[in-house]
Structures are given as structure tokens and as C-alpha cells.
Structure 1
Amino acid sequence: MSEVSPQLIDRLLAISRALAGHIDPGSAFRATAIEIGTLIPHDHIDLAVLAVDGRMHACYEAGFHTSWSELAQHPVAGSPIRRVLWGETPYLLSDNALVDDRFHFEGAFDEPIFAAKLRSRIIVPLRARGGVIGALNISRHEAGCYTQADVAVAQQCADLIAPYIFALIQTEEARRAMLAESEARNRAELLRVGASQLTEGMERERRRMAMDLHDQTLGDLARIARQVSAFRSRGM
């Protein structure tokens, strides 16, 4: 163990450096994939991040992409790794996920496991502020590649990146909320200006119509007066 620790510390520091400077959770995670691969070789690695009060999760993949990342969000209830996301188990370790019933159940979105032939799998939770905010998923095509020692290393990687990813997600959500609030204010201002312009336009039209009616009425009265005067001059 003493021979592994210096390498592990060095790789964890490299992962920390890889995170620096990124403002997007996906790009930050992809920057760490190579460094994590030096500790735990993988053919596929992804990050599932909880959203909407834990009912949904988004998937960030590094390397080749599967249908897990094609949709913006997935229901956690249909996730093959839901037991980790729900905190029901501390991790998942599988020698062959293709035949592991823990990943397959009615309604499970497990098609990528078969399509990408993700046999050996490690799933460990991402924790921040005392709760699970997602999961780190590491896979290989070959069966029987990972051990409990690999799970421990994966958890150390997850513990390192989780606070940074969580902070980026919080920042992104705050930015979206600010943009939504700004757009709402802009829409309200446009509606106010539009309503004001409409009111002014209606008032101008009302005055124009009033003037037209006034002018027309005066014209009609003048014409009637001339007709009456003509009748009188004829003795009618």
C-alpha cells in the first residue's frame, strides 16, 4: 500500500489541476477522465448528476458517447445506477453488467450497457454538503477487470471532484436563474411599453375620431342651415 500511495497522491493532484479553470460541469469532468484513467483504466466513464430535487439526473460522458447523454435529463427511477443515486448502496461493483440483475429491471434505461458492451463496472457516489449529488461510473468492455481496491480509488477520485462539480452546477443554476429573471423583467418592460404605446395610440385615434366627428357634424349643420335658408327664400 505504501508503494501505491505516492502515485495515488500524485494522480489526485493531477486531477485537481485538471479541474482548474473550467466553468462547465461537463468540460470539467472530461478534463479529469484521462487522469482517472491512469489510476483506473477504462473504456467508458461518465458522471451522473442529480437534478430537480433528485428526481432526474443529467449524464456527462468522456470519450465515446452513448444514448445516456443524448437526453438532457433522465428519471432517476429508470437509471440502472439508481441504488447508488438514492443512497441505498455505498457502491456497485460488477464483473459483468450485461448479466447483472442490479442494472436491469422493468423500465430501466439499460440499452447503453448492451450497446457499448460495458461489462466490468464501478459506480461510486458523488457526495457534497452531506448528501449524494450524483455518481461516478467507470466501465470496461472486458469482464472481471475491477476489484475492491479499484472501488476505493474510484471513491477517492469521486470525493475529490464532487465539491468542484457541485459548485459549478450551483453556479450554472444561479446563472440560469439570473438570466430567466432578467428575461422576465425584459418581457414585463416590453409589455409595459407596449401597453403604454397602445394606450397612447388609442387615445390619438380617439381624438382623431372626435375631431372628425366634430368637423363632420359642423359641416352637416352648415349644410342643413344653408338648405333651410334656401327653403325660406323660396317661401317654403
Structure 2
Amino acid sequence: MTRFNSLLMNLKQVEVTKAKSLIEGPPELELKDLPSHLEYAYLKGIDKLPMIIAKGLKDDEKEALLKVLKSHKRAIAWKITDIKGIDPRFCTYKILMEEDYKPTVQSQRRVNPKILEVNKKEVIKLLDAGMIYPISDSPWVSPVHCVPKKGGITVVPNEGNELILTRLVTGWRVCIDYWKLNKATRKDHFPLPFMDQMLERLAGNEFYCILVDFWVIFQSPIDPKRPRGKLLSHALWNFHYHRMPFGLV
């Protein structure tokens, strides 16, 4: 227990305070550059609660859209801590395993200090949101893999003053390698829609919106009696998810 407490203090190094409501304390967010056809609109003041909307909207269309968004802003998640999740008494996600599966413990991959710091920030973020909890042992261990967030391509000169195409990296995304766990998982055979049918449904509509499946998946609590696999490790501790993570099927 002492080892666990000291690790969490080293990870967080912050006092636990009562979270303010969305209206009392809008979150400070780092806004990224947008494509030319998109722009930011704000639901509170001139720089609070940002939303991404189409830049080509007319003034009356933009006003009507913002009116709807402002009336439902409590249903929008700007940060992972805004996701309250589904009551486990209503539903839980059960990971069904094949009959002949064998638990697999995969070794954590070595990473450079920069990626280790990315992992640390991810642990702190998920701990604060109550998405994960620490464990000492697990029959399933899945390693962490960080992939770059791609931000387009630019041209930069090399040592020979030659122009070289270079892909921009805007950040890092922490992923879990659930390949072996997913291989042992019993698959759900739900029919997927055909692309031409989806496009036909969109045809003739003036407006449409998209939902980020990352926020949708983090809503579902995992059945505590089913295998969950390790989330990620930092220093001397491992973690399990409380809710269904992205990449686990």
C-alpha cells in the first residue's frame, strides 16, 4: 500500500479539489489550427466553450446553430472529465472470450523520455477522470504504443539545401496494443452498412454533423468479472480500465 500511495503522489503531485461545474469554470483548452473551411465558435463569452463549425454558414444559420448548441451545452464534453458515463446498473460491457483462449502477458516496450512523459500525462488525465485504477497483477498485459498525430505535409530544406517533403506531427496519441486480447475475444457479428447507402442518406441534406467515437466508447462501464487487460504502466504500476477503451472489441 505504501508503494502504491507513493507512486500516485509522484504521478499526480496535485491536491484533489472539487471540480467546478461547466458553467462556473469553463475549461482552458489548447486550440489547434483548423482547415480553411472550418472555424471556432464560442458558447460562452468570446473565448470560452469552443465549438468547430463550418465557415461558410450564413449569419442567420450560424445564429440558429449556436442557439441550439448553447441550450444543450451541458450535454457536450470538452474534456474527458466531462464524460459522466452510463450507470452500471443500466448496462455494462462484457468481454466474451473464446473457449480455448490462454491469457497473454506482453512485455512493455522501451520508450524514450519524451514518449514516457506522454504516457505519464495520459495516466494522470485518466486517473483524474476516474477512467482507470491501479492494479498489482493481471493475467492479461497489453503494451502501450504511441503514434504521432499527423498534421499535413510541409516542405523543409535539408543540409544540402534541397526541399524535402516532411510530415508535420502535431502531437502524440497513446494507444494500447490489444491485438492478442482481441484475437481471443468472441466477436460480435453485427452487419455494417454499405458506403453507398450511407451516402444516399446524406444526399439532399443541407447540414450534417459528426460524433467522435472516442467519447462514445468511454461511456460504457466494463463488467468487473471479465478480463480487461492492462492499460499502461508508469514507473512501477499497472492500470485497468473502469470503462470501455478505444481499440478493445
Range into which the TM-score falls when normalised by the shorter chain: under 0.3
TM-score, normalisation: structure 1: 0.19
TM-score, normalisation: structure 2: 0.19
- Choose between structure 1 and 2 for higher RCO, CA contacts under 8 A separated by at least 6 residues: 2
Bigger helix share = 1
